[in-house]
Structure 1
């Protein structure tokens, strides 16, 4: 997995005949930022990283290191149940000399994962072969195969694919195409060999796969290249989905143009004390992760969005507060996807303003038992700040207002201007889900209080929830101002000022110098030092004196200034569980990102930079080939839970691009 030298990259591009696009030349620094080699031992094997792009619901990988055969691993079809491998090899070449019928044995030269494609090279003394795998769009996966002969020769060309043999999978031939169907889903996977007029093909099927052969030999002139394409198209539901044919000959150029746009701003990724090359490779890894979890609108998902992690079968949908964080990070390099990520969740906004916890391909699985922390307005404003798209603000404003008001209508039990996390079904578990911090220690002793039909609250007002709602009022004020809604602008500022006073007087404990949740009955503080305590600083709701006290807690090595800083529970808490604690000690990068911004908001730049630097340099493997993880051990930096986690990637990208300072 050695990176190609720049000189060999250029020579390789000439050999392929690939279009050179201004400002988008391949950069060897960004090769293999993630290890994408692997092969599944079973249909549900997710033990290695998979390549997705363009919103596709099918993914592929490079063969394991040492595998000498041509082609790629896959596909993994994410829209079948919770996702499964239906193929073990795609685009494996079968070449023979047309005159002697002797097989041509190809020797592997290089195998790499690059931003937006996989590439493999092979050679013999008389023939060089390249395979570039990429996505033309969310439907079509293409393997571009280029053969270049040093001497004139005629070659018989065939393409093989292997599948996981299963009673639920069926293969059929349709002319020169292979059609794979599934008994438990209407989806159809079609594989074809596109030769651009070089000849027709025929299909041979077996119990374990298929073979597509050209009907006549390819003639290779000396020192000239011939390119063919293997197209694999996944249709989720052919009764409703009708993907257009793709122009194979221009698809590669369009891929390069698209990725040039994504990577254009990578040079803006930096952090004091972190080598520029390291910062930029981590930024590219974050982009690859977010785009790898991008899934196009299918089924009951009406807009594109980003799932939390393809590596975890539990995460095959869109979650609300994940979506807001994804959108804020995507805004700077993939703004169309950022807008759609927000739209996807609001497609399901209820009449009363509620946005559900999560939505799926099949809406019967959507979770309406709770919502998620209110960061939608923050995300929408991030899109506007990155794009200047005033029309998007106009599209979203009324929806955001309804969602904001829903919190106070359904989750303010005492009607005192401060809200509580809660549920629609009255269960404590759904209320904890609504907080996003499912098993946080501060919720160990909650009781549920009924507010009305389908509306319940915990018996405590939460520091983070109310900080988010305060920030929403400021952000709604800014949006109203942009849209020329003068009265609304003044209204939101007035409400924000009143709420800021409530947060400072009700949720800050001067005896302990920290923000805590507070019980409704009697008003006792829930004195658990968690990441929620710095949310008021992130939102700009704390006074300067309060922020100084919180900063001292945040920078205490016995609390939050750990090897990998910002654990979700203070290190000296008796419940601290840094590995398997979930929200009882591991570092979650979204909360860590909020912590860095919190410090910067109040002028503690040196502390913020030092802790942000530790977040990058102490996360094991982050600057090498390891994926981003769902959470990390604050004492060792080891990643745990789901690999390729989107909001971790989003948080790292925002850290590197300096997003998030709050106007106070």
Structure 2
């Protein structure tokens, strides 16, 4: 089963809206000033696909849509937009090359009206293009009414009374040509091996709009009679596009065109309220706020609505990478913690989307997809689910959500000690359900980390295997989970549970401090099962114990001295995942063997704060913002960064990098 797109182009009654369509003055129909106008072009959203799978530029998604668009190339002066890109079709592909291209003709003289491009911009929640012609201005604003419906609001304003013949054209990608047919007053596009379709039609109040023509990869739909433009009053044409993943099961609601734009603006104004709290000592607030907005755009650009076997909305890692067309557990916990600041409903659904597939034994799978046959049950991901849930509560005060999640979180937490504690000593190991080393490494989230180069696998039971190595980050996460579960239990009035969690946390803290801290090296390391020998690799996992609050003050002081050593972790872009003086250090192609991953760097900053090193934390945080190339300009947020140059690598538009930057810049203010 694959997606379905429905295009609906609607011309509504002429209304004197008094709008100029400019990005800096885009207003709703009730003349409220657009609250997001100052954040124009935070990301460059110009591009045109050369092939159906071209992901070389940024794409605009919103409201959980599975279809997206871009502004045409800067030197492309024709009307319309690039797209759509359908993310749920295979691994994602462009099915349209051009959308909402406008043709105008003077109805009296039958002469074409030439339009000159004025400008094109991207702002939070919309794309806008403006044009001018003889005595005429035209604006096109593309935005999403909901996850199904994308709208293009075309406004035409003439200086004098004018009747125009109007049509809208589109062009599909050549590979999609066979599925393009005329169906009465609509154009329908279907796809091979798919239950989806794309439908386009044009209508006006009392005016027939069935002038449909198809020519190869092009389609055109025109009005049967001229559109009358009154002097200095804007006539509005709506282009509506509806993506249906499965026509057999989905029935998208109709769009309330009269209020769609105002509701979009209200939604985005709500998102951006939290931007004012963005602050980092020594960094201009304007810079902190702009980076926060970029983080929001990234997270919401990767938001995908419940479809197929995904039962709740969530955020994918990156639409720029064809391998990331689903929800991942570790990513989801980080996404939810950041979304809680500005989109709490989505944050809650992000958690639910993963726990929808919690196993009977308590395990949550590594990742879930539109087709559940692809879900990865070979491993899970590090335990940060309780942390994320508590972050949602702190932002919202939603006690009901805590009650909804508590038993699920307890089962997931207990699973670690049932399935991943080989020697039953109350300390867990990363592992896999199939006994493979590769899946066990995936479970750590640090797939090719140097510390795992010499692991062996040990069978714990049916479908349960452990590495022969107890990892300090895993057990620091589990220690923090026990503290957080104690906090949740107290909020919910579960007094006995509260006491039990605190008791367990104290035991685990003692183990981490006495067995996982190497006094001779002054750092936390993984330890080998049986011998207890440290795996002496200086990696980001070593400061996780500080982030969790599991280190003693003296241990923290020693670890922080290493963290602030320029030869190891205080690099230009600080806190790489492997010390810079390690012989395996590979900052460009190392993946987890040297590049900076912003989540681990964020944990490093918070580790400093946790033990009173606020000035050093601010210094490292500023480096993460100012030394990441292009971050304060238009470059997207990357999967990881070069610690020596700040160059971004791997997937652009990466959600957990965005989440981590948002957490870095926006402090939690309530509980």
Identify the TM-score tier after normalising by the shorter chain.
over 0.9
Pick one of 29, 53, 65 that aligns with 2:62.
53
TM-score (norm 1): 0.96
| Partner SS for 1:60 | strand
Alignment-derived partner of residue 540 in structure 1: 549
Contact 1:194–1:230 (Cα < 8 Å) also in 2: no
Q: Aligned partners of 1:243 and 1:651: how far apart in 2?
A: 34
Q: Which moved more, 1:253-262 or 1:201-210?
A: 201-210
Alignment-derived partner of residue 557 in structure 1: 566
Contact 1:304–1:341 (Cα < 8 Å) also in 2: yes
Q: Aligned partners of 1:597 and 1:9: how far apart in 2?
A: 46
2:57 pairs with 1:19? no
Alignment-derived partner of residue 336 in structure 2: 327
Offset of 1:333 from its aligned partner?
0.3
2:370 pairs with 1:373? no
The equivalences for 1:29-68 within 5 A come to 29-68=38-77
Offset of 1:29 from its aligned partner?
2.9
Q: Aligned partners of 2:631 and 2:203: how far apart in 1?
A: 39
2:498 pairs with 1:489? yes
2:161 pairs with 1:148? no
Contact 2:23–2:121 (Cα < 8 Å) also in 1: no
Gaps of 5+ in 1: 1-7
Alignment-derived partner of residue 173 in structure 2: 164
| Partner SS for 1:437 | coil
Alignment-derived partner of residue 276 in structure 1: 285
Residue 16 to residue 159, structure 1, CA distance change in 2 (3 Å): farther
Offset of 1:202 from its aligned partner?
2.7
Describe the superposition over 1:461-483 as per-residue Cα deviations: whole angstroms up to 9, x where unpaired. 00000000000001101111111
| Partner SS for 2:174 | coil
Contact 1:198–1:218 (Cα < 8 Å) also in 2: no
Pick one of 428, 436, 440 that aligns with 2:449.
440
Runs of 4+ in 1 over 4 A off after TM superposition: 8-17, 196-199
Offset of 1:198 from its aligned partner?
5.2
Offset of 1:25 from its aligned partner?
2.4
Q: Aligned partners of 2:203 and 2:23: how far apart in 1?
A: 21
Q: Aligned partners of 2:38 and 2:176: how far apart in 1?
A: 44
Residue 53 to residue 266, structure 1, CA distance change in 2 (3 Å): same
Offset of 1:284 from its aligned partner?
0.3
Q: Aligned partners of 2:314 and 2:80: how far apart in 1?
A: 29
Q: Aligned partners of 2:248 and 2:55: how far apart in 1?
A: 30
Alignment-derived partner of residue 4 in structure 1: none
Alignment-derived partner of residue 254 in structure 1: 263
Gaps of 5+ in 2: 1-17
Contact 2:207–2:224 (Cα < 8 Å) also in 1: no
Residue 190 to residue 167, structure 1, CA distance change in 2 (3 Å): closer
Q: Aligned partners of 2:656 and 2:172: how far apart in 1?
A: 33
Alignment-derived partner of residue 357 in structure 1: 366
2:664 pairs with 1:655? yes
Pick one of 431, 437, 452 that aligns with 2:440.
431
2:99 pairs with 1:90? yes
Q: Aligned partners of 1:264 and 1:25: how far apart in 2?
A: 13
Q: Aligned partners of 1:385 and 1:287: how far apart in 2?
A: 19
Pick one of 206, 214, 231 that aligns with 2:223.
214
Describe the superposition over 1:349-375 as per-residue Cα deviations: whole angstroms up to 9, x where unpaired. 000000000000000000000000000
Describe the superposition over 1:589-610 as per-residue Cα deviations: whole angstroms up to 9, x where unpaired. 0000110111100000011000
TM-score (norm 2): 0.95
| Partner SS for 1:652 | helix
Contact 1:266–1:284 (Cα < 8 Å) also in 2: yes
Q: Aligned partners of 2:398 and 2:345: how far apart in 1?
A: 11
Describe the superposition over 1:566-624 as per-residue Cα deviations: whole angstroms up to 9, x where unpaired. 10000000000000000000000000011011110000001100000000000000000
The equivalences for 1:87-166 within 5 A come to 87-166=96-175
2:279 pairs with 1:288? no
Alignment-derived partner of residue 231 in structure 1: 240
Residue 333 to residue 467, structure 1, CA distance change in 2 (3 Å): same
Pick one of 311, 314, 327 that aligns with 2:320.
311
Contact 1:171–1:180 (Cα < 8 Å) also in 2: yes
Offset of 1:91 from its aligned partner?
0.3
Pairwise CA RMSD of aligned residues?
Answer: 1.7
Alignment-derived partner of residue 407 in structure 1: 416
